[in-house]
Chains A and B, each alone.
Chain A
Amino acid sequence: MVFQAYRGNSARKYPNRAVLMFCLSVFVIPFSLSAAEDDDYLSALNQEAKKVDGKGEVSDTSGSVVTTGNTAVSREAFEAELKEKYAGSAVFYSKLPPGSQEEIFLEYQDGATIVELRKKIMDRFLHR
């Protein structure tokens, strides 16, 4: 009796509509909820991916180059220039551990001359 009262007059008048609503609630709504959850997860993933800027993380295939802070682009330019103009020094520089490379790059940023930098590269390479 309670169920009958709950269904109301419209269900009595249109029994097919009630069946249709039942089918919708059983089959369609769970799928749409699941799809909505997937969408939410993907959306959260995309938002999170935007937070990865690649700075300060381990990078590059050789494992010898590590970018830190906001200096990645300038450092690439520095290394490209070194390779172009001082190929020998660039080879020794490339063989240095990341910490030494970072040190040399920071000195370059502080305005050290190329002579000083090349000497520093050799000093670090020869552990002097």
Chain B
Amino acid sequence: MSMFKAILAVSVMMSVFAGPVIAEEEVAVGSQGGVIPLYKGKPFLHVIHNGRSVKVQRVQDTDFELHGYFAKTSRQCPPFCLGPMDVHPLVETIGEIEIFHFMENQLRDGTGMMIDARTPEWHAKGTIPGSVNIPFTTLSKSIDDLEMIEALELFGAKPREPVGAMTKTLEEWGVLKAENMTDTWDFSQCKELVLWCNGPACGQSPRAIKGLLEVGYPPEKLHYYRGGMQVWQLYGLSTIN
């Protein structure tokens, strides 16, 4: 009996001492206590931007407030009207966490690209690290336009040799594999793209996505970051000029 009491007493004491330690760990977050992470367990990450490694993290000052253009609540509508959550039923709309995963996976292993679909004037004033500027004006062009052809090749799509009637028929019957192929382009090896612009009231990346879909880019390889620059900055995430 006395043995049982001793064990009980030890466990009570342990729980009393363990309590404050756990509580301290829970509050040790923020500018005074430590790092404000990208998300729980991920303090920061690195991406390659223009050939150099760039750290992506959040502003560490909990008192920091956003000022300037991206702190504005409203813009003239039209043309800068709030857009729907989805650009296309088959194109996935993503948020910041998915961007971080994309940066660490597809971007790092070369199977994906992040596209700043804004005009160069916007891009020059700051962008999300790891992004490449291909304006929507380019991605809205027709399939036989040189700018569009260059963009598609950059994305890993390949022009097809002229397809004969026999091949076409066999492809239609399913004898030959024709998934993610049009008559003129082979999209089977193309990269996954994240397209973004200035935020929910920006029409530039939705236009770029529609342009890519029109030329046959597979919708499952396109992702729309609707938050764009405005939400990215709202969370104090690193940008680069």
| Residues of B contacting A: mostly | loop
Query: B67 and A55: CB pair below 8 A?
Result: yes
A68 to B122 Cα, complex, angstroms: 19
Query: A99 and B63: CB pair below 8 A?
Result: yes
Query: A63 and B137: CB pair below 8 A?
Result: no
Chain A, range 76-104, C-beta contacts under 8 Å to B: 97-100, 102
| Residues of A contacting B: mostly | loop
Query: A66 and B61: CB pair below 8 A?
Result: yes
A61 to B233 Cα, complex, angstroms: 13
For residue A60, CB closer than 8 A to chain B, the reply is yes
Distance (whole angstroms) from the CB of A3 to the closest CB of chain B: 37
Query: A99 and B58: CB pair below 8 A?
Result: no
For residue A40, CB closer than 8 A to chain B, the reply is yes
Number of residues of chain B lying within 8 A (CB) of chain A:
42
Query: B61 and A58: CB pair below 8 A?
Result: no
Size band of the A side of the interface?
20 to 34
A52 to B80 Cα, complex, angstroms: 15
- CB contacts (< 8 Å) of A61 on chain B: these are 49, 54-55, 129, 238, 240
Q: Contacts A61-B129, A99-B64 given; indicate if A46 touches B69 (C-beta within 8 A).
A: no
For residue B174, CB closer than 8 A to chain A, the reply is no
Chain B, range 53-69, C-beta contacts under 8 Å to A: 54-61, 63-64, 66-69
Kindly list the 6 A-B residue pairs having the minimum CB-CB distance in the complex, ordered from nearest: A56-B67, A99-B61, A63-B238, A56-B68, A49-B121, A63-B57
Binding site for B on A (CB under 8 A): 40-42, 44-46, 48-64, 66, 68-69, 97-100, 102, 127
